[in-house]
C-alpha cells in the first residue's frame, strides 16, 4: 500500500507527497504529459531531444549537474511515446536544491543556438549508433510504421528520421517547450523523508509563480482496425535471421490489457516459459525468443521476437510461433501455470513498493491516468484475471489479419 497526499497549486501543478521515513533520502519526480505521440509528423524526435535540452542549463542555473552533485544528488530522465519523466534522488536534508533546479527548468530553459547544436549532435550520434549502425538497431524504425498507419505511434521516440533532428531550429524547440512544459501539463511527486507541510511550502515558493500555460488538447487520429496481415522482409548484415511479430492490443486503461500482459509472461517470462521450453530448448528453432507488450496509453502492440538458430528455415520457425499461439487460443491455460505467473507479478509489485524512486514514478503515472490511488489496486487487477479471460483475449488479439511480421534476414 502506497500512501500519499495530494494538492494542486493555483497554476495547475498537481503535487503528490509520499511520506516515507524509513531512510534519509528523498525523490523529486516531474512527469510531463508529453511524448513522441504529441509531435508534428514532419518534426519528430522533439520530446526526446527535450530530455537532453533540459540538462543544458536553465534561465537562472547555467549548470544543472554541478549544484546537484555538491549536495549528494543524482538525476536522470526518460522519454517514451506517451510521457517524459525527470527525477532526482538526494538526501532529504537537501530537498530544496531539487525544487530550485526543477522549477527553474520549468520556468524556462536557457535557449541558445550553441546549446541546441550540442544536444542535436548528441541525439544525432545516438540515432546513428543505436538505430542505424547496430545489428537489428532499426527494427522499431521499420516495425512501428508497418503496424501503425495513422496513429503517431508509427514513429519511435528517437524520431522518424535523422533529418528531423538535424534540421530543428531554435524557433521549433521554443514552440515545443512553450506548448508542453508548463505547470498545467506536469505532475510533481515528492517521496521520502519529507513532510507534506514542508513540500507544500517549497512547492509554493519555487513553482507557485510559474505561469500556468495552456494544457494542450490531445486530438490524435485513431488507428483503424487492421484487416489484413502485413509483412516486410529486410536483408542486412546481421549475425542471425530474426522474426518480429506485432499484434495490436488494448491500451493501458482498456479491457484486455492485463490479460495481454499475463499472456506475455506465460509465453516468455523465465526459462520455464512456453516459448523458451518449446522453441529454444526442445525444438532448438531459436537461440533466443521473447514476448512483451509496449504498455502504451493508447492501443499498443504485443510483440513476439526471436533470433533463429543457424540453418533453420524462417518459414518453419514462424509456423512454430503460430503453433504456440494456437495452443493459447484453443486450450485453457492450466490453473497452476496461471497462478505461478500471477505470483511473479505480485512479487514484482511488492518489490517495486520497496523502491522510493519506483513508488514516485508509479504515483505520477497513475495520477496521469486519472488517479494515483489506482496504483494500490493494480496487483488485484492481475489476480482477478481468469483462464477464460485469457483465452478470450488471445482469440481476439492473435489473428493473422491483426499481425505485422518483420523478417530480418542475414545476407
- With contact defined as beta carbons under 8 Å apart, do 180 and 216 qualify? yes
Residue 129 sits in the same domain as residue 246: no
> What sections of 168-290 are H helices per DSSP?
170-180, 196-207, 257-268, 274-275
| Average pLDDT of the chain to the nearest whole number | 96
Residue 194 sits in the same domain as residue 247: no
Residue 327 is predicted with a pLDDT of 97
Q: What is the end-to-end Cα distance of the chain in Å, rounded?
A: 53
Residue 181 sits in the same domain as residue 261: no
User: Which sequence positions are flagged as catalytic?
Assistant: 51
Is the residue at 68 inside a domain? Answer: yes
Is the residue at 212 inside a domain? Answer: no
Residue 56 is predicted with a pLDDT of 86
- Residue 407's pLDDT band (boundaries 50, 70, 90)? very high
Is the residue at 223 inside a domain? Answer: no
Residue 312 sits in the same domain as residue 240: yes
Is the residue at 367 inside a domain? Answer: yes
Is the residue at 213 inside a domain? Answer: no
pTM for the model: 0.96
Residue 202 sits in the same domain as residue 245: no
Q: Tell me the backbone φ, ψ of residue 333, rounded to 5 degrees.
A: -70, 130
The Cα 109–Cα 116 span in angstroms is 11
Residue 17 sits in the same domain as residue 101: yes
Domain count across the chain: 2
Q: Are strands 230-236 and 403-410 parallel, antiparallel or unpaired?
A: parallel
Residue 202 sits in the same domain as residue 235: no
Q: Which of 207, 241, 272 is the last residue of a domain?
A: 207
Residue 59 sits in the same domain as residue 121: yes
Residue 77 sits in the same domain as residue 196: yes
Is the residue at 119 inside a domain? Answer: yes
Residue 268 sits in the same domain as residue 372: yes
Which domain range does residue 71 map to? 5-207
Residue 154 sits in the same domain as residue 270: no
pLDDT tens-digit readout, 137-158: 999 999 999 999 999 999 999 9
What residues have CB less than 8 Å from 301, skipping those under 6 apart?
147, 153, 246, 247, 248, 249, 293, 294
Residue 352 is predicted with a pLDDT of 87
Sign of the Cα pseudo-torsion (91, 93, 98, 99, in order): positive
For residue 311, the domain's CATH number is 3.30.830.10
Compute the C-alpha angle 186/188/189, nearest 5°. 145
Rg (CA), the chain: 23
Is the residue at 93 inside a domain? Answer: yes
Is the residue at 99 inside a domain? Answer: yes
Strand order in the sheet with 25-32: 5-8, 14-19, 186-192, 25-32, 84-91, 74-79
pLDDT tens-digit readout, 304-331: 999 999 999 999 999 999 999 999 999 9
Residue 253 sits in the same domain as residue 190: no
Amino acid at each position: 500500500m502506497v500512501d500519499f497526499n495530494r494538492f494542486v497549486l493555483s497554476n495547475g501543478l498537481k503535487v503528490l507527497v509520499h511520506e516515507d521515513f524509513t531512510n534519509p533520502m528523498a525523490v523529486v519526480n516531474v512527469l510531463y504529459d508529453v511524448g513522441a505521440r504529441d509531435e508534428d509528423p514532419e518534426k519528430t524526435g522533439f520530446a526526446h531531444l527535450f530530455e537532453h535540452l533540459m540538462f543544458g542549463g536553465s534561465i537562472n542555473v547555467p549548470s544543472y549537474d554541478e549544484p546537484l552533485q555538491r549536495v549528494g544528488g543524482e538525476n536522470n530522465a526518460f522519454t517514451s511515446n506517451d510521457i517524459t519523466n525527470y527525477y532526482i534522488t538526494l538526501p532529504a536534508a537537501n530537498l530544496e536544491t531539487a525544487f530550485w533546479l526543477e522549477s527553474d527548468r520549468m520556468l524556462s530553459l536557457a535557449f541558445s543556438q550553441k546549446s541546441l547544436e550540442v544536444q542535436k549532435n548528441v541525439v544525432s550520434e545516438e540515432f546513428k549508433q543505436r538505430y542505424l549502425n547496430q545489428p537489428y538497431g532499426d527494427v522499431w524504425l521499420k516495425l512501428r510504421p508497418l503496424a501503425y498507419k495513422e496513429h503517431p505511434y508509427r514513429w519511435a521516440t528517437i524520431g522518424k528520421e535523422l533529418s528531423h533532428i538535424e534540421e530543428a531550429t531554435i524557433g521549433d524547440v521554443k514552440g515545443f517547450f512553450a506548448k508542453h512544459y508548463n505547470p498545467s501539463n506536469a505532475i510533481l511527486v515528492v517521496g521520502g523523508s519529507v513532510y507534506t507541510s514542508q513540500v507544500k511550502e517549497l512547492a509554493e515558493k519555487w513553482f507557485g509563480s510559474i505561469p500556468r500555460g495552456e494544457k494542450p488538447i490531445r486530438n490524435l487520429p485513431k488507428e483503424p482496425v487492421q484487416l489484413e496481415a502485413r509483412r516486410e522482409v529486410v536483408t542486412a548484415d546481421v549475425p542471425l535471421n530474426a522474426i518480429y511479430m506485432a499484434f495490436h492490443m488494448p491500451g493501458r486503461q482498456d479491457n484486455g490489457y492485463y490479460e495481454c500482459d499475463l499472456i506475455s509472461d506465460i509465453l516468455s517470462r523465465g526459462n520455464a516459459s512456453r516459448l523458451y521450453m518449446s522453441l529454444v530448448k526442445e525444438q532448438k528453432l531459436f537461440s533466443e525468443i521473447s514476448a512483451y507488450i509496449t504498455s502504451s496509453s493508447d492501443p499498443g502492440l504485443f510483440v513476439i521476437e526471436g533470433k533463429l538458430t543457424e540453418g533453420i528455415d524462417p518459414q518453419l520457425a514462424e509456423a512454430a510461433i503460430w503453433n504456440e499461439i494456437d495452443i493459447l487460443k484453443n486450450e485453457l491455460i492450466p490453473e497452476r501455470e496461471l497462478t505461478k505467473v500471477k505470483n511473479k507479478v505480485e512479487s514484482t509489485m511488492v518489490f517495486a513498493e520497496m523502491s522510493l524512486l519506483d513508488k514516485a514514478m508509479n504515483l505520477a503515472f497513475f495520477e496521469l491516468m486519472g488517479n494515483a490511488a489506482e496504483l494500490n489496486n493494480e496487483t488485484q487487477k492481475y489476480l482477478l484475471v481468469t483462464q477464460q479471460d485469457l483465452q478470450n483475449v488471445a482469440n481476439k488479439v492473435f489473428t493473422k489479419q491483426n499481425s505485422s511480421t518483420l523478417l530480418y534476414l542475414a545476407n
